[in-house]
Amino acid sequence: MSPAGARDPRVNDRLDQLADYPFTRLRRLLADLAPAPGRTPLVLSLGEPQRPAPVALIEAAIAAHRADWHRYPPVAGTPGLRQAIAEALTRRYRLPADLIDPDRRVLPVAGTREALFLAAQLVARDGAGGAPPVVLMPEPFYAVYLGAAVLGGFEPVMMPATAATGHLPRLDEVPGEVLARTRLCFLASPSNPQGAVADLGYLGRALALARRHGFVLAVDECYADLYDQVPPPGTLEAAAAAGGRLDNLLVFHSLSKRSSAAGLRAGAVVGDPALIAAFTRLRSYGHAGTPLPLMAAAAALWRDPDHVDANRAAYRAGLDAASAALAGRLGFVRPAAGLFLWLEVGDGEQAARRLWAEAAVKVLPGAYLCRADPAGAARGAGYVRVALVHPPEVIADACRRIAATLAP
């Protein structure tokens, strides 16, 4: 049944298996409430960077390519963009110079969201002896992983990522029977919402598991450059350490957070050359291609490390502000990386309503980043997610209001 009412026989019935998108659910949750009067509303529900993008770099690149608007863009991206992505990731992860062949191992995409979604269209869907094929994912998750699995016709299988597991899924606890049916496994490091970082050993074991069982490992590293002290290792590094083959691996990177350029819609998939070739073919049938001037702008951002350093420094200042207001309260953990706080609040939906009505602060209930069981219970129900996207003084104000409302 569709959340909106009776099912529409013209619409793919798999859509009915998905809850509304988290922000739609949040709008519904708060629809009958006004923000606390007399206070500036602060929206910390959405992980949209609020720092300006490097506009001068973007505009210079677009101006230099103003003659290209009449051209259809190549679906595999331009050689210049692929080269810029390969160089940026080689520098970031200190990879051997020949590991990321830009023509065979890199596919520019329009942000990681569409690419993560398409990954489930890419992989094989034959079951094991008639049983449904599986997509594994951490829970809580980025909602697109679940959408990709369900709309792709897979059985989604959750791997709990809780305080008890260090907020990373325990791959060694996935039953052998499930691994035998697994065609795709999503992982995120740094993770959303907890900001947990997998070490090189973890990533290497995940890759070895994927190869042993023949599934595709899709690692979402879109927060890789927003870290506190230590640069999170990447799965490309783990692959390099294991001999340099990229079989069964797809790694997802984005300019949205790294460069505060979510509106540019620029990302990259890097990995197994056979999978990259198939991904390119898949996109030729279903994707419009990123306009050439925007690909030139993306290449300029991948080539420039300075604005990324400035972004990271701003992110750190936001973390300092959050720590000062919340340390010792609501299970506050200073995340190693990523863009969010994951706070223990008892009942996440109730806390989100109170924060909006009493403090004019909007946050996302943790339950909306998890799948409800048949009884309606969701793993993250005791949490809220707080996006640290604003300037430090706004984050400080919001976190003080959160503390005063929920943990006075």
Residues that bind ligand PLP (CB under 6 A): 47, 111-113, 142, 188, 192, 220, 222, 254, 256, 262, 267
Give the CB-nearest residue to ligand PLP.
111
CA distance 246 to 89: 14
The CB-of-29 to ligand PLP minimum distance in angstroms stands at: 20
Least distance (Å) from ligand PLP to the CB of residue 195? 11
Instruction: State the nearest-atom distance from the C-beta of 278 to ligand PLP, in Å.
Output: 21
- Whole-number Cα distances in Å, 118 to 115, 144, 147, 214, 406: 5, 10, 10, 19, 40
Residue 274: enclosing H or E segment and its boundaries? helix 273-286
Instruction: Compute the least distance from the CB of residue 106 to ligand PLP, in Å.
Output: 16
264 versus 396: smaller Cβ distance to ligand PLP:
264
Cβ burial, residue 291 (10 Å; 0-12/13-18/19+): middle
For the bound state, the minimum distance from the C-beta of residue 407 to ligand PLP, rounded and expressed in Å, comes to 26
179 vs 188 by CB, closer to ligand PLP: 188
Residue 191 C-beta: closest distance to ligand PLP, Å? 7
- When the beta carbons of 254 and 405 are compared against ligand PLP, the nearer one is 254
Rounded distance between C-alpha atoms, residue 385 and residue 363, angstroms: 6
Provide the CA 146 distance to its chain's centre, in angstroms.
12
Residue 265 tokens, joined: 């819609």
DSSP 70: T
User: Is the Cβ–Cβ distance between 137 and 160 less than 8 Å?
Assistant: no
Which residue number, 226 or 240, has a Cβ lying nearer to ligand PLP?
A: 226
Q: Looking at beta carbons only, is 222 or 399 nearer to ligand PLP?
A: 222
Q: Cβ closer to ligand PLP: 90 or 254?
A: 254
Amino acid in position 355: L
112: Cα separation from own chain's centroid: 7
3-state secondary structure of 302: helix
**Which residues, at least 6 apart from 206, have a Cβ–Cβ distance to it below 8 Å?**
171, 185, 187, 198, 217, 219, 235, 238
Q: How far is the CB of 252 from ligand PLP (least distance, A)?
A: 7
88 touches 258 (CB < 8 A):
no
Query: Which is nearer to ligand PLP, 138 or 392 (by Cβ)?
Result: 138
